Structure 1
């Protein structure tokens, strides 16, 4: 078992090395870039004037350039409605450099049903560097808390069907819904990102990845009201390292199995992460219904928990708020999961919670993977228990 775990760790490390090497080649900065300052297209840094069309005009020029291009957002506050930066572009090296703050409408109805606030689609070789996104989410959170008929809200920054993307040094504040979503993308690097929202903000996942391959999340700080990082169906070759989470719901694979036919999750590494005061630490969750989905070849390594309610969770009967639960056996196959060097403190007496479907009770299913030496989580100074 130990030898198999070591082989699996080496295999995942090799995959990460190949992905990062390719990413570095594909996102190498280009010289002699054309410059497009949004001020020259009519944007106003007063936080009130609608600058949406000015940003779109600057993007159109950069996207249509035959040479590398830069869209520059200088210091100041720029008010934007929902905006789609559409590709494909004529060049594969566009830098969106933000030195200021982008501000969403304070009235959540304006973009609440748009799906995304700032959205990139069908682009290749785009880097978003620096800046602050102020999603103005609290008024929508209050609406949802009052059980009124509210819109779902908009994701602050979304990338869809895009390749060779870098998001670096960005700060996302108070998103209405998710902060950053990577959907249907290849070779994405998220680094040095700060996410900040209330620990009670609903459905404000920090970074959500789905249907994507070769995504790397590095050196980021996430404080939010839902998952710090959520990993959806169809995610492969994902590397998460040096992420500080809390408050939030931890780093979660899933929920999986919501659909009968669903792509799986595989080759995921989460290492050198910290959790402080979170609801969960490392979690895998799937719905209790038939599904073709799966989660396999997962490595959780070098994690530190501080006062975490549920440090390690595998839940195959996931049903938030216990509303309209399917109540069937989960068809999601979970295998080759390794936990290595996980330690810290929990807020409850149960450190490892397994809510699973098994033909007969066992201590820990061997085909799932490994609980390696180094798992040490305490509660009030005492070792915690394993709940099956």
Structure 2
């Protein structure tokens, strides 16, 4: 009996979570004292723990500069970061603006972030960019690189300098209950960007920003987006692609039960008119509501913002097997469906299934170039495939 009790005690001790409060490492919640070192010290302690560990951030405002959370020497594969407070970037945008990312996790496994708010204070950098002055490119607020089994739950991100969340080179990432916001005119403030990653899920989230609510870059596969509210912003975009000749393809993408309000685009695929070996295939857009969206359904293989860096060639990206199912609502422009595909590699296998889009209580129109496919059920505007 005593031996059993000893074994049970050892088991409980080994499975118990150890909590590391950032304030115990010197962090102050006044929003003025630099807490970067304290957060990194808490990370180091959690990484060295032999059992699941929690890094706890109490209520208050915590000033952080560039923070790099490396998993290279981290022995722990079960670290929870529980945030009750707000992490604040320096008011001087140059402090983090040249680094590429503000809070960066690299080569980590089993990290989860629960709750909290990120305030990147990006408004001054946006103003600098709009003025035409020489400005830093800006930093992504939260970035995960080459990491596995990631969870981000209930995080609020506001006023990012550039992307709010970047998932790059990752496997199995779950982002749920996200709230992301930036001014509708803020430049390059994508909500969530996924690239060279597989097994990413984005659920039950509201994103309103100045660029794509979700942008999907080369090498993204097995991506599931469900219960998304987008607006303001540029919608959900696959691309832009074909910047490079050798480029990984995009496949197995599902966008389900989404609402777009007042956005520039709804569901979009965009590629530069450049030679490329890339592709987009097996994509499903399902149960989507459009409300006053400028381009509800669009494939643009001649993407060229501001008519710069465009070689005026045909896109090499092969687009195939894309289904638009149960898409309804209102378009802010008369052309509600536009398929502008590559001259040399036309779009194939496009399916319109129960699409009903109107323009100011009038019939909308559809435009097709180099696109082939079929229509099923009631399709308005009438299919041009």
So what's the TM-score if we normalise by structure 1? Answer: 0.90
| Alignment equivalent of 1:383, drawn from 351, 360, 363 | 363
| Alignment equivalent of 1:292, drawn from 270, 277, 288 | 277
Q: Which residue of 1 aligns with 2:56?
A: 72
Contact 1:376 1:383 in 2 (8 A): no
| Structure 2: segments with no counterpart, 5+ residues | 1-13, 369-385
| Structure 1: segments with no counterpart, 5+ residues | 1-29
* Whole-Å separation in 2 of the counterparts to 1:270 and 1:197: 22
* Whole-Å separation in 2 of the counterparts to 1:359 and 1:161: 35
Aligned CA distance change for structure 1 residues 312 and 91 (closer, same or farther; 3 Å): same
* Whole-Å separation in 1 of the counterparts to 2:344 and 2:125: 45
The structural deviation recorded for 1:32 is: 1.2
* Whole-Å separation in 1 of the counterparts to 2:86 and 2:76: 26
The structural deviation recorded for 1:383 is: 2.3
Q: Which residue of 1 aligns with 2:351?
A: 370
Aligned partner of residue 330 in structure 1, secondary structure: coil
Q: CA RMSD in A?
A: 1.3
Deviation digits for residues 171-211 of structure 1 (CA, Å, limit 9, x no counterpart): 00000000000000000000000001000000000000000
* Whole-Å separation in 2 of the counterparts to 1:114 and 1:323: 25
Q: Which residue of 1 aligns with 2:323?
A: 338
Tell me, yes or no, if structure 1 residue 47 matches structure 2 residue 31.
Answer: yes
* Whole-Å separation in 2 of the counterparts to 1:200 and 1:370: 33
Runs of 4+ in 1 over 3 A off after TM superposition: none
Q: Which residue of 2 aligns with 1:12?
A: none
Aligned partner of residue 278 in structure 1, secondary structure: coil
Contact 1:50 1:81 in 2 (8 A): yes
Deviation digits for residues 346-368 of structure 1 (CA, Å, limit 9, x no counterpart): 111010112222469x9xx5x33
The structural deviation recorded for 1:31 is: 5.2
Tell me, yes or no, if structure 1 residue 38 matches structure 2 residue 29.
Answer: no
Q: Which residue of 2 aligns with 1:6?
A: none
Q: Structure with the greater relative contact order (CA < 8 A, sep ≥ 6): 1 or 2? A: 1
Contact 2:149 2:172 in 1 (8 A): yes
Matches within 5 A, 1:245-324: 245-324=230-309
* Whole-Å separation in 2 of the counterparts to 1:346 and 1:316: 21
Deviation digits for residues 210-231 of structure 1 (CA, Å, limit 9, x no counterpart): 0000000000000000000000
Tell me, yes or no, if structure 1 residue 326 matches structure 2 residue 307.
Answer: no
Tell me, yes or no, if structure 1 residue 213 matches structure 2 residue 213.
Answer: no
Q: Which residue of 1 aligns with 2:76?
A: 91
So what's the TM-score if we normalise by structure 2? Answer: 0.90
Contact 1:131 1:169 in 2 (8 A): yes
Q: Which residue of 1 aligns with 2:10?
A: none
The structural deviation recorded for 1:387 is: 1.5
* Number of matched pairs: 354
